[in-house]
Structure formats: C-alpha cells, structure tokens
A and B are shown apart, each in its own frame.
Chain A
Amino acid sequence: KAGVTQTPRYLIKTRGQQVTLSCSPISGHRSVSWYQQTPGQGLQFLFEYFSETQRNKGNFPGRFSGRQFSNSRSEMNVSTLELGDSALYLCASSYSPPDEKLFFGSGTQLSVL
C-alpha cells in the first residue's frame, strides 16, 4: 500500500511569488491535514480537510489556503511568499476524523529567497 505522497520534494521561490503544494493520501484515507515545520516553531497546524470540506484551521494568515478534491487529494497554496514561509510542509492523512493516527508524507521543503 503506497504511503502519503507529497510533491514536489523541494521548491525554491522568491519573495512575492505564489506556490502550490500537492498531497496524495493513502488509498482509502479521506482526511488530510497540513503542518508547517520550522526549527524555531516546531510543527504548527495549518488546516484539515475531510470530504472536501475544511474541518479545522490553524492560526495562519489568509495567504495560506488549501483545498481537497473528490479523490481526497489535497493542495495547499501560499500566495505572496515571505522569507519566513521557508519551512518543511508536511501532509498527513487518516481514515476519517476523529482519528489521531496520522500517516505523514516526507514533506515539501520550501525555500523562499
């Protein structure tokens, strides 16, 4: 059974650009969560989707958005990139909430120059 797949693995962008990250959950999983990981702040929750609906949202500015498609795949978008957005973005899937047994992808490493 394939794990959680995140693409791309690495991204380099410049300030002001926008970026879209993709996440394919484990087959059969309908819930997808996104986390931002930085050395200083650790793991911070961005948002959670279930059946194409945003179920929870973390304390991030509106520049951060996401969506989930009918096949449970999810994307997150960051507009008007800032240097502080440089981070590892992790996607995690589970069968359905509430289910805290999350399966994580390897992440997308975003560098903003």
Chain B
Amino acid sequence: AQSVTQLGSHVSVSEGALVLLRCNYSSSVPPYLFWYVQYPNQGLQLLLKYTTGATLVKGINGFEAEFKKSETSFHLTKPSAHMSDAAEYFCAVSPNSGNTPLVFGKGTRLSVIA
C-alpha cells in the first residue's frame, strides 16, 4: 500500500526566501509522484509530476521537485518565495501501473511573510 508523509503542517517563509516543503512516500512498487497546490476556496491544481526518467522535475510557477529513491523523498522547492505562493500544498503518490487512485498527504500550508 502507498502512503505519503508531509513533514510540517505549516511552513512560514519570508518573501524572497527559499521554499522547501518535505514529502516522503511509501510504495511497494515504483511510484508516480505529484505535487498539487490549493488556493483558498479553490480545488487542487497540479504543480508537477514525476513518472519516469529525469529525477529533477520542473513545474509551474518556478517550483521544482527531486525524486530521491534512496531517501523515498520528493521534496518541493522554489528558490524565491512570492506572496502569491501562499497556499496549501499536497504531495501525492500512485503506483505507476495507474490502476489505483492517488493517495494524498495531509498537506502543508505555506505562509509568505512580507
């Protein structure tokens, strides 16, 4: 069975500072990994995904994530935080057979301080 752990339910950074949101997963088979973002009063939007190939994945809005199999991690980073990045971020995992639904982490709320 797959599971996702997001370390830190709330992360606060200053505008212009590095954003690092942590995600560790558990999967018995090679996984597909995802980061989604949810802005207030909206649904989730896909930021980026890793399926196979290059382990450093670039997404929208300047975010990127690196798949590290040895650490079972898929941390999300952005070099310089912007006020508009304030939102809730969800990491998700699925086996790469694609026959079972995504399993989401509990989310990390990102606050950006001016």
Residues of A participating in the B interface, judged by any CB pair closer than 8 Å = 4, 33, 35, 41-43, 45, 48, 56, 58, 90, 92, 97-107
Residues of the B chain whose Cβ atoms lie less than 8 Å from the Cβ of A43: 44, 90, 104, 107
Q: Which residues of B contact A (CB under 8 A)?
A: 32, 34, 36, 41-46, 49, 90, 92, 94, 97-107
Contact A102/B106 with A43-B90, A45-B101, A56-B101 known, Cβ cut-off 8 Å: no
Q: Give every chain B residue within 8 A of A42 (Cβ-Cβ).
A: 90, 104-107
Known: A98-B98, A99-B98. A104 touches B105 (CB 8 A): no
Q: How far is A100 from B94 in the complex, measured between Cα atoms in Å?
A: 8
- Among A41, A92, A100, point to the contact of B98 (Cβ < 8 A): A100
How many whole Å from B87's CB to the nearest CB in chain A?
13
B83 to chain A, nearest CB (A): 22
> A106–B41 contact, CB under 8 A?
yes
**In the complex, A75→B42 CA distance in Å?**
19
CB distance from A111 to the nearest CB of B (A): 15
Closest to A6 in B: B43
Q: Please give, as numbers and ranges, the residues of chain B lying within 8 Å of A4 by CB-CB distance.
A: 43
